[in-house]
Amino acid sequence: MVARALLRNSITIRKAGDEVEAEPGFFEADTAAHCGPCLKGEFVRSVNLTDMTPRPN
């Protein structure tokens, strides 16, 4: 149990809105499998990267 707590506390998890990124270079990534309800057969996986830097006003 102690090892689990140490591991959990050593991993930083950020939530949306925690910080506003001032410089380009911080990305959020998302993956998706385009296969419908089943992972059998042929399908496509995609990765989407989004730079989280806000646009200047």
SS3 (DSSP) at 3: helix
Query: What proportion of the chain, given as a percentage, has pLDDT over 70?
Result: 89
pLDDT of residue 31: 92
Q: Dihedrals φ, ψ of 38, to 5°?
A: -140, 145
Please state the domain extents for the chain. Answer: 19-57
Average pLDDT, the chain: 81
pLDDT at position 57 is 66
Query: Among 22-26, 28-32, 34-38, which stretch is predicted with the lowest mean pLDDT?
Result: 22-26
How confident is the model over 32-50, as pLDDT tens digits?
989 888 888 888 999 999 8
